[in-house]
Homo-oligomer: A and B are copies of this chain.
Amino acid sequence: MPTINDIAARLGVAKSTVSKAMNNADDISESLRKKVLETAVEIGYEKTRNKKNSPRKLCVLVENMDYKSPSGFGHDLVLGFEQMAVPAGWQADAVMITNELQEQTSYEVFMLSHRYEGSFILGLSLLDPWMKDLQTAKTPAVLYDNYIQDNPFVSYVGVNNIEGFKMAVSYLKELGHTRIGYLGGDMNSFISRERYQAYLSAMEQHGLATDETLTGHSYFVSECTHKYLPVLLEHQVTAILCEHDLLANSVMVHCMECGYKIPDDISIIGFDDAAFSAFTQPPLTTIRQNRNALGRCGYYALASLLDQTFISSLLLRAELVVRESAGKAK
């Protein structure tokens, strides 16, 4: 097991210098501190020893997601995590991470420099720099709605999308719908890929035809509503499944602007059950993911990794929340 001496030897500096760098002392330059931490990660130095009585620390790393306001998508994810971690004796910090931060500092160096023993990570796309780091990282990470195939130190927590879309398609079929379209985000997101596959799989299981003219994908909601939605409507879909509720709401607004009544002319179903979804016009039928429970499961998976129990995936059941945006097919 590499020690602080090995880092000092590798860099040709005194052990006390390494120690100062590790402890964030004021009289060490930022560039030397970074070099020390990067060397620590490179030679496999596992963790900085905690100062006596200093708390052990975990973090929730959040990108592209509001978690501070109670209506923010990430709020209950962070809360659920903290509700488990804090009583178990951990300090749990929620931290916003940007693409720039990821480019400047590797995941392992970031974790080591803040003395975080493990992370719960929300909102990374497949293009984020840390997704590459996580393929080989040894500091445990639990990814919400993201999956790393070959690294046992990383777990995937989310809802079972396949079950969710099967429920939604089954519900629409009972209402008489057979031409069911799909609108979703771009394919640089793990979850966009998963949900689109789940839609295709659910349609196939229910014996309903799909073709590309009935689906559209874009990172931009406006591209979905302005470019793809008109094509779906032209091809006479009677229902549209949307990858997330924000998109579903925009689709409803746009349909109504074009003179369609919801759900009389067209049924819309979302995914997530966001805080606003009960208050859209009409209230949105959606596939719910229990974000507080997901946060709790995120902690459980992380505690398991720290205990050498290597969870690959932990998926919650999805739940269909029936409101008023889907009705009988015309």
By a beta-carbon cutoff of 8 Å, the part of chain A in contact with chain B is 149-150, 152, 159-160, 163, 166, 290, 293, 296-297, 300, 304, 309-317, 319
Contacts and interface: CB of A to CB of B under 8 A. Distances in A.
Given A149-B163, A163-B149, A310 B316 contact: yes
Contacts of A314: 311, 313-315
29 contacts: A149-B163, A149-B166, A150-B163, A152-B317, A152-B319, A159-B312, A160-B312, A160-B313, A290-B309, A293-B309, A296-B309, A297-B304, A297-B311, A300-B300, A309-B316, A310-B316, A310-B317, A310-B319, A311-B314, A311-B315, A311-B316, A311-B317, A312-B315, A312-B316, A312-B317, A313-B313, A313-B314, A313-B315, A314-B314
A132 B89 CA distance: 43
Contacts of A290: 309-310
Given A297-B311, A311-B316, A314-B314, 17 more contacts: A149-B163, A150-B163, A152-B317, A152-B319, A160-B312, A293-B309, A297-B304, A297-B309, A300-B300, A309-B316, A310-B317, A311-B314, A311-B315, A311-B317, A312-B316, A312-B317, A313-B315
Contacts of A159: 312
Nearest to A153: B317
A300 to B, nearest CB: 6
